[in-house]
């Protein structure tokens, strides 16, 4: 409690100067506790967190905490285990980041103190997570053993264990885990080809709805910003599986089922990611699997309205927050390039070459800048999205995912 009453940075605090003249005893008392406070929290910042974010340094098991206003790094937090394919979600107060590692590690990081608050290893092998609508539950999707585990956001205590066992008794890897309105988590079973909705309104008694036969090898999924449509991409066959969460009784419907039929696919050296929702003017932009194309879909009719030829096989297809531009990065061996698509003309307006191993892109909350991680040059580049010029470069060790705190207030991120 003492911490609450002691000023954090009190070197020249006017009230303390007054105390020095009148109440020197109290002053000494304050100084004493102030010193204790500052030594205990020497590195904690007193600021807001709305312009903060984390950069995953995947090979060194660390993250950098960065701020996007001055474009600087604030802290590095180590000891997070195997961060290949790591991702992050944020507490609704934007104070804490939850990092999901490949080795089953779930780490809670204090962004203001640059400190690992708590870390648990909750499975042998995992792939990502989500935070509930009310911010109280953090769910992790696991490969080994398959399934979803749900934890209390404050303590990381286990709340629920949702196995991913299909009708034949086989456990599945879980992909595409997102939060949805109504305190739900929605996720996809890779091996079994199922979508499941877990209602966590009563965390002690989760209610799980199962949708079978959605298609072969669903590799990832996304949810619309309003939390209505959940769409899983299929690797084993053509098209995507769509579930209307407002009308789950209608079941899963196939969209773009004819896309690419009879055409030879290219070998896929990196799975595309379905993250966020690249949408503009009622058009949805998605990475094509095994093709050098971005697909354009009418989000009212769910019909294909166009294909944009791009530099390589897309991995991330991300819309600037206003939807005017879509940025695309590519799979090995064409992963040195990023292309910018104008969503009005469906033309590529710029081809950038940030360097070999572009792994992720993250827009600032209102989209004036985008941060791009470049693995092989150990750097993160910041681009102005209007001039498309580079604004800054930050050193980072084998950077992969970049996540900004504005995600805290967006469904599905």
Partner 1 sequence: MRRKNIKQLFVLVILIQLAPVSAALDSARQAELLYLLKHDCGSCHGMTRKGGLGPPLLPGNLGGRPQLLFVDTILDGRAGTPMPPWRGLLTEQEAQWLVEAMRRGDGL
Under rule CB under 8 A, residue 397 binds partner 1: no
Minimum CB distance to partner 1, residue 331 (Å): 9
Residue 369 near residue 340 (C-beta atoms within 8 A)? no
Q: Which stretch binds partner 1 (CB under 8 A): 251-259, 267-275, 362-370, 378-386?
A: 267-275
Going residue by residue from 295 to 314, which x/- string records binding to partner 1, judged by CB under 8 A?
--------------------
CA distances from 328 to 89, 129, 308, 386 (A): 22, 23, 11, 16
Interacting residue with partner 1 among 16, 44, 59, 113 (CB under 8 A): 59
- Three-state SS at 30: helix
Under rule CB under 8 A, residue 271 binds partner 1: yes
Interacting residue with partner 1 among 27, 33, 269, 302 (CB under 8 A): 269
Interacting residue with partner 1 among 14, 25, 169, 267 (CB under 8 A): 267
Interacting residue with partner 1 among 48, 79, 124, 213 (CB under 8 A): 124
Select from 272, 273, 282 the least CA-distant residue to 323: 282
Residue 187 near residue 129 (C-beta atoms within 8 A)? no
Instruction: Copy the structure tokens of residue 148.
Output: 């979803």
Under rule CB under 8 A, residue 143 binds partner 1: yes
Under rule CB under 8 A, residue 103 binds partner 1: yes
Interacting residue with partner 1 among 48, 79, 236, 395 (CB under 8 A): 236
Beta strand segments in 217-374, E = 218-223, 229-234, 240-244, 252-255, 278-280, 283-287, 293-298, 304-309, 314-319, 325-330, 338-342, 347-352, 358-363, 369-374
Q: Which CB, 124 or 181, lies closer to partner 1? A: 124
Minimum CB distance to partner 1, residue 274 (Å): 14
Report which secondary-structure segment, H or E, holds 393.
strand 390-395
Residue 330 near residue 346 (C-beta atoms within 8 A)? no
**Residues near partner 1, by CB under 8 A:** 58-59, 82, 84-85, 102-103, 124-125, 127, 143-144, 173, 175, 190, 217, 219, 235-236, 267-271, 332-333, 357, 375, 398
């Amino acid at each position: 409690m003492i911490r609450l009453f002691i000023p954090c940075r009190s070197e020249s605090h006017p009230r303390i100067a007054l105390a020095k003249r009148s109440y020197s005893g109290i002053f000494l008392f304050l100084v004493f506790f102030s010193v204790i406070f500052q030594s205990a929290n020497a590195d904690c910042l007193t600021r807001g967190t709305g312009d903060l974010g984390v950069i995953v340094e995947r090979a060194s098991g660390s993250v950098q905490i960065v701020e996007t206003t001055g474009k600087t790094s604030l802290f590095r937090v180590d000891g997070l285990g195997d961060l290949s394919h790591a991702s992050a979600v944020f507490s609704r107060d934007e104070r804490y980041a939850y990092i999901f590692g490949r080795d089953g590690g779930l780490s809670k990081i204090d962004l203001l103190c640059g400190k690992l608050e708590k870390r648990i290893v909750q499975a042998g092998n995992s792939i990502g997570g989500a935070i509930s609508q009310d911010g109280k539950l953090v769910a992790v999707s696991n490969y080994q053993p398959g399934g979803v585990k749900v934890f209390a956001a404050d303590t990381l205590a286990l709340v629920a264990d949702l196995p991913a066992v299909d009708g034949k008794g086989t456990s599945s890897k879980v992909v595409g885990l997102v939060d949805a309105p109504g305190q739900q988590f929605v996720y996809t079973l890779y091996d079994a080809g199922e979508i499941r909705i877990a209602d966590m309104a009563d965390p002690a008694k989760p209610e799980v709805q199962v949708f079978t036969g959605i298609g072969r090898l669903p590799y990832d999924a996304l949810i619309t910003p309003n939390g209505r449509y959940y769409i899983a991409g299929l690797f084993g066959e053509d098209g995507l599986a769509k579930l209307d969460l407002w009308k789950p009784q209608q079941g899963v419907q196939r969209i773009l089922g004819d896309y690419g039929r009879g055409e030879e696919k290219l070998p896929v050296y990196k799975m595309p990611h379905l993250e966020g929702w690249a949408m503009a003017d009622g058009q949805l932009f998605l990475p094509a699997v095994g093709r050098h194309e971005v697909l354009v879909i009418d989000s009212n009719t769910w019909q294909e309205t166009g294909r944009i030829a791009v530099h390589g096989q897309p991995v991330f297809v991300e819309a600037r927050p206003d939807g005017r531009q879509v940025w695309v990065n590519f799979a090995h061996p064409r992963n040195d390039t990023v292309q910018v698509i104008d969503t009005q003309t469906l033309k590529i307006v710029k081809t950038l070459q940030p360097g070999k191993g572009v792994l992720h892109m993250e827009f600032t909350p209102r989209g004036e800048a985008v941060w791009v991680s470049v693995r092989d040059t150990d750097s993160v580049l910041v681009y102005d999205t209007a001039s498309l010029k580079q604004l800054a470069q930050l050193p980072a060790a084998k950077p992969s995912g970049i996540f900004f705190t504005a995600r805290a207030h967006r469904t599905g991120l």
